[in-house]
Amino acid sequence: MTAIEVRGLRKAYKGHEVVRGVDLDVARGEVFALLGPNGAGKTTTTEILEGHRRRDDGEVRVLGADPGTAGADWRARIGIVLQDTDDAADLTVTEMVKHLAGFYPEPRPVAEVIGLVGLQEKRNSRIRTLSGGQRRRLDVALGIVGRPELLFLDEPTTGFDPEARHLFWDLIRELAAEGTTILLTTHYLEEAEALADRLAVLSAGRIVAEGTPAGLGGRASAGSRVTWHENGVQHSEQVTDPAPLLRKLLAADVDLTTLTVTRPTLEDTYLNLIGANR
């Protein structure tokens, strides 16, 4: 079943079109990442799907409803983690989570949510005293407290230290395993690779590539680069299948400590796609 269905989505600000005919399908239970450079239209698209922004044109169905007209019941099925929210700074972490929990029919227990995002030690601290990364963790807690069927995460791990990022990835995997559909925007390609079942690259308001992290932009068939040193001289070859060359090198007198086989990373592929579509 489809969680998000978008056809021909368009949005302009003051006559300048920033979303220019986006089609998107996200299946229920899928973790989908939306990538793209600053200003590509990711937040605008996400906000339209959340019902926070009007579209100019196109068809949008989110959990079977049009977010432009859907009501409170629909809203309660959705979780949102916005970029940089800064409200209710005088409440404590527990008070804030409890407050939000009150809006949902079947919220997660407050202590459980705080534990899931790793804020136990800060549960009685006022929000204004949290660090940037801790504040983002609280945003994530607020997004998941209502047990959403669909969770929107707009750059959720900005400002997280590496440990917090990995904790967050574990949490997303747990939510996905429970069946939560997740739409994630991120600038961290390793995050998209770690989490997403599928991803799309948005550039200047259009989707320029869509696929699995392993297959995006022909990545799976892009071949490998083999590099090695022989008699003090560096050699490098781009090959479709590295096996024959590796066998040859193993049989020859090659310094194996310098031998590397690399495939294009998701970041290489992404940068190529963005460069080609600029």
Ligand X SMILES: Nc1ncnc2c1ncn2[C@@H]1O[C@H](COP(=O)(O)OP(=O)(O)OP(=O)(O)O)[C@@H](O)[C@H]1O
Residues forming contacts to ligand X in the complex (CB under 6 A) are 13, 18, 36, 38-44
The DSSP 8-state label assigned to residue 48 in this structure reads: H
Which among 168, 182, 148, 146 is positioned nearest to 46, based on CA atoms?
Answer: 182
* Cβ pair 211, 198 in contact under 8 A: yes
For residue 233, list its beta bridge partners. Answer: 230
Type of residue at 186: T
Tell me the C-alpha distance between 107 and 144, whole Å. 9
Six-digit token string for 191: 């995050």
* Cβ pair 230, 193 in contact under 8 A: no
Six-digit token string for 177: 């395993």
Residue 204: phi, psi to the nearest 5? 45, 45
Which among 130, 137, 123 is positioned nearest to 95, based on CA atoms?
Answer: 123
Q: Are strands 233-239 and 224-230 parallel, antiparallel or unpaired?
A: antiparallel
